[in-house]
Amino acid sequence: MKRSRVNQIIRESEAFIKEQGFLLPPFAAWTVEDWQEKGHECDEIRDNMLGWDITDFGHGDFDNIGLTLITIRNGNQLNPKYDKTYAEKILISREGQVTPMHFHWNKMEDIINRGGGILMMQLYNSTEDERLADTDVHIVSDGVALTLKAGSILELQPGSSITLTKGMYHSFWAKEGHGSVMVGEVSQCNDDNSDNRFLDNGGRFPRIEEDEEPYRLLCNEYPAAK
């Protein structure tokens, strides 16, 4: 992805989140210059990859296959320095854009429609060889237990949520004609380097083509503490 496109996406995302009445933590607004002055007091942000995350999942087509994420808080299962066992994110699913089918080996998560349009989510169990199963999917949505046929598509209205268990395949997108969705994620510790199983080949973090200066650094770009 070109840096200019990443910058544009972040600016548009900041405006959309503000429209929803949600406030981001201070580090989400830090500039490149700000980061040059940050020492070890900010190691939790660096080590646990808090902040902006723009991905096209390795497809090079963000407008159709992509997602904007901001990790607000996160622990680190690989680093005993951090006792935090939970994570929180804000995701923006744009109209016309799909997050591809995937599951997590280690993370259980709640996905919440925090505002905007209607979130569509397709669900499958996974087989032992990590393909799509044809078995019924058992979920909990806002405290209500539901059983769905494999491949069913669930509509999450603003305020609604779903709990996704480990190994449950899911793909989601904003319902056409209803606008983008601000999605909340509350989960166990998040590790995007090793805990994503995509059904089809893809990548998690895009290669950035530097055609202009960064507006905000992404969560995998922070300079080391001085």
Q: Give the pLDDT of residue 79.
A: 85
How far is 199 from 51, CA to CA, in rounded Å?
Answer: 26
Within 13 A of 60's CA, how many CA atoms are on the CB side? 1
Q: Give the pLDDT of residue 92.
A: 98
Domain residue spans of the chain? 3-198
Confidence of residue 50 (pLDDT cuts 50, 70, 90): very high
Tokens of 21: 């009445």
Q: Give the pLDDT of residue 204.
A: 79
- The overall pTM is greater than 0.75: yes
How far is 172 from 53, CA to CA, in rounded Å?
Answer: 17
Domain 3-198 has CATH 2.60.120.10: yes
User: 71 Cβ partners below 8 Å, 6+ apart?
Assistant: 48, 49, 50, 51, 53, 87, 88, 89, 190, 219
Are the C-beta atoms of 113 and 183 separated by less than 8 Å?
yes
Tell me the C-alpha to C-alpha distance, in Å, between residue 188 and each of 65, 74, 121: 25, 8, 20
With CA atoms as reference, report the closest residue to 51 among 17, 27, 76, 22: 27
With CA atoms as reference, report the closest residue to 97 among 180, 169, 29: 180
Are the C-beta atoms of 104 and 87 separated by less than 8 Å?
no
User: Over 90: is that where the pLDDT of 113 sits?
Assistant: yes
Q: For 78-100, what is the mean pLDDT?
A: 95
Q: Give the pLDDT of residue 129.
A: 97
